[in-house]
A and B are shown apart, each in its own frame.
Chain A
Amino acid sequence: MTGRWAARLHLPTLAVAAVVVAGWFLLSWRYGAFVLPSPLAVLRGLVEIVRTGEVWRHTGASLARIAVGFGGAVLVAVGMGLLAFLSRTARVVVHDLLAVLNATSVFVWIVLSIIWFGLSSWGPIFTTFMITLPVVASNLIEGVESVDRRLLEMGDVYRLSGRQKFSAIVVPSIIPYLVAGMKVGFGLALKVSVIAEIFGVTTGIGYAMNYSREILATQMVFVWALVMILVMMTTDKFVFDTVTRRLMRWR
């Protein structure tokens, strides 16, 4: 693991990062801390929220909402995938439904959730659910469509039962699509739930960021953006990449 990280942080990347930070210093010196706080101020802010534990409170609140909204979306998507697998008619209906959901803006769900659920955690949860559902489900349907018919025919030749064909042929064919969909979906969930948290809740990364702006603590806006980026990169590396590697052992 260490070796891979060292290899990834190769010199040209570090050089570019150094130039960016240097530029950031210059610009913040030129325009002032309100418009662009210096990297040092941001670093101090990060240390501060880690020390007070505020980082865990808000990140935890955001992740809990994502767990419910995104988790629900994955469950419903799996149900839709099953339907699409069992019936061609259902596949067409689900396909069209997802096209509509895919075309709907985040803002529609945010506004609707305020009307429907008032100012509560259900806003970000509902928004996350509605936005990630089509992403995960579309991937699953694509997986269902890609199941190799020749393998299913082989299953028929050897008289495998429906359940045996499902667990030995269908599920392993679809799982890579599910994991890919979940990876994209989780990234989207994090971005979307944070926007929804601007309205009506008093915890979460989105709330913390908007609050920092209101009290004119621009450096904290940067700190929370940094926290978001870190959460995203960590889950990508340690959850999804690991799972993918595990599942793709046979390749």
Chain B
Amino acid sequence: MAVALEVAGVGKDFLIPVIDSVSFAVEAGEFVCLLGPNGCGKTTLLRIVGGLEPPSRGTVTLGGEPVFGSGRHTRKVGVVFQEDRLLPWRTLRENVELVQKPLGADAADRRRTGDRYLRLAGLAGFEDYYPTRVSGGMRQRAAIARALAIEPDLLLMDEPFGALDAQNRRIMQTEVRRIWRETGRTILFVTHAIEEAVAIGTTLIMLSARPARIRTLVRNDGRVERAKLIDDLNTIIMEEVERQQGSGA
């Protein structure tokens, strides 16, 4: 399978080293969950992959093109942030249509594509609502529809359900898993919830405490029983938390 994303020796320093050195490759169509203790640099790593922040060292390659090269790469990256980041003065449909403009699609095309992904995200009938008029879960669905509407080579999700209540969170996990199956997109999903990662990801990458390294990489292909996987990952994360507290004291 084609390698969609390659992260090679990426590190980041903010006064102190936050990410030591991280390397991994993601194949097209994979659903990778990035796990790790709080403050270990998961979000920073995601932002580096998305080209929002330059790394202090190492390279990121998207479908063979360097993200931090001399020019802009031609790969499309959609991002779902912790907050929905919808424009409150535009309807859900207008929000989804807006991001297609730089791709050069005409208005009818944008409408068609936008409506298709809004429907896929479960928002049929809510296209003309303003974001303030719908629930937080629906806003996050719209943000997912927006990211999908550019038909991204890579979809980045940064704890997208962090602000939702437990029930909505579970519903959205199932939804994202379904959307992934139906679209076949490559997804990199940051979360601190182990159960969430095990429920939706095909590959789980656990980072160590700061400065981050890859602690373990697990294929979540059903060969290891879920309950056992969750137990093991919980043990690792506790070790990391203790190590961090130990070194801090």
Leading 5 A-B pairs by shortest Cβ distance: A158-B99, A250-B130, A154-B85, A172-B89, A159-B102
Question: Is the beta-carbon distance between B77 and A168 smaller than 8 angstroms?
Answer: no
B87 interface contact, C-beta 8 A = yes
Cβ of A168: which chain B residues have Cβ within 8 Å of it?
87, 90, 98
In addition to A250-B131, A251-B132, 13 A-B residue pairs with Cβ atoms within 8 Å of each other are A153-B52, A156-B52, A157-B50, A157-B52, A157-B78, A158-B78, A158-B98, A158-B102, A158-B146, A158-B150, A168-B90, A172-B87, A250-B132
B residues near A (Cβ < 8 Å) are 50, 52, 72, 77-79, 81, 83, 85, 87-90, 98-99, 101-102, 130-132, 146, 150
Question: Is the beta-carbon distance between A154 and B132 smaller than 8 angstroms?
Answer: no
Instruction: Report the separation of the CA atoms of residues A171 and B102 in the bound assembly, to the nearest whole angstrom.
Output: 19
* Interface size band for A: 10 to 19
**Which residues of A (129-166) have their CB < 8 Å from a CB of B?**
150-151, 153-154, 156-161, 164
Residue A164 contacts which of B77, B83, B102, B131 (CB distance < 8 angstroms)? B102
Interface contact tally, CB-CB below 8 A:
47
Instruction: Report the separation of the CA atoms of residues A164 and B89 in the bound assembly, to the nearest whole angstrom.
Output: 15
Cβ of A251: which chain B residues have Cβ within 8 Å of it?
88, 132
Task: List 16 interface pairs A-B (beta carbons < 8 Å), by A numbering.
Answer: A150-B81, A150-B83, A151-B85, A156-B52, A157-B50, A158-B102, A159-B102, A160-B98, A160-B99, A168-B87, A172-B87, A172-B89, A249-B130, A250-B88, A250-B89, A250-B90
**Which residues of A (207-251) have their CB < 8 Å from a CB of B?**
249-251
A63 interface contact, C-beta 8 A = no
Instruction: Report the separation of the CA atoms of residues A156 and B99 in the bound assembly, to the nearest whole angstrom.
Output: 10
A154 CB → nearest B CB, Å: 4
Cβ of A67: which chain B residues have Cβ within 8 Å of it?
none
- Residue of A with least CB distance to B72: A159
Question: Is the beta-carbon distance between B102 and A160 smaller than 8 angstroms?
Answer: yes
Question: Is the beta-carbon distance between A164 and B101 smaller than 8 angstroms?
Answer: yes
A119 interface contact, C-beta 8 A = no
Instruction: Report the separation of the CA atoms of residues A168 and B102 in the bound assembly, to the nearest whole angstrom.
Output: 13
Instruction: Report the separation of the CA atoms of residues A160 and B131 in the bound assembly, to the nearest whole angstrom.
Output: 20
A236 CB → nearest B CB, Å: 24
Most interface-central of A150, A249, A250, A251 (chain B CB within 10 A): A250
Instruction: Report the separation of the CA atoms of residues A249 and B102 in the bound assembly, to the nearest whole angstrom.
Output: 27
Residue B102 contacts which of A161, A169, A172 (CB distance < 8 angstroms)? A161
Cβ of B52: which chain A residues have Cβ within 8 Å of it?
153, 156-157
**Which residues of A (40-77) have their CB < 8 Å from a CB of B?**
none
Instruction: Report the separation of the CA atoms of residues A251 and B89 in the bound assembly, to the nearest whole angstrom.
Output: 8
